[in-house]
Structure 1
């Protein structure tokens, strides 16, 4: 039996398992504000030197460390947060596929597991 809809704080009736358009709009606005303050990828250290090292690392580690699929992302196990030594520490790198990086790893970071 389907679950009943709920009423959003704005007063709209929203089907179960979905989010109201006002909630989606608020999330988009919050993300835009965050991105406006965030330094560019180059400013965060992702330069051509990084691209070369990334390619070499992926060649040496072609499989995702989580699921074993073909890796396409070099992830920092411990987030470097601007620390150049941690950024370039190869022991802090792991090869991940895009889905694992975007879902599993981000969920771990939000939960504080990393």
Structure 2
């Protein structure tokens, strides 16, 4: 049996499991405001030295720790938040594919979940 539609806070009736267009617009605007304040990748430490370390790490650990596909992201298990010691600690790194990093890992960070996903060196 299908679940009934719901009433959005804007007053529109929306089908179950579907987001209202006003909510999607609010999310886009919120993310744009955040991105304007966020420092560049280089300012956050992702420079040429990082690119070399990343390439070397992925050479040793080429598969995603979550799904087993080819890894192309070196993820910080615990967010470093500007802490250089934590940023460069390879025990805090794990190989992920882009899909797992941008979905599963990001969802976990939003919930303040910082346990390793089974990363190497943990």
After TM superposition, the score normalised by the length of structure 2 is 0.88
Please list, as runs of the form range in 1=range in 2, the aligned pairs for 1:21-40 lying within 5 A after superposition.
21-40=21-40
Structure 2 unaligned segments of length 5 or more: list them.
115-122
What secondary structure sits across from 2:74 in the alignment? strand
Aligned residues: 114
Indicate the RMSD between aligned Cα atoms, in angstroms. Answer: 1.0
In structure 2, distance between residues paired with 1:76 and 1:2? 41
Counterpart for residue 57 of structure 2:
57
In structure 2, distance between residues paired with 1:25 and 1:107? 20
In structure 1, distance between residues paired with 2:19 and 2:104? 22
In structure 2, distance between residues paired with 1:107 and 1:30? 17
Counterpart for residue 2 of structure 1:
2
Please list, as runs of the form range in 1=range in 2, the aligned pairs for 1:1-114 lying within 5 A after superposition.
1-114=1-114
Deviation at 1:39, TM superposition (A): 0.3
What secondary structure sits across from 2:64 in the alignment? coil
CA shift digits 1:12-71 (9 cap, x unpaired): 111111111111111111101111100010110111111111111101100111221111
Deviation at 1:100, TM superposition (A): 1.3
CA shift digits 1:63-102 (9 cap, x unpaired): 1112211111000011000011111111111101112111
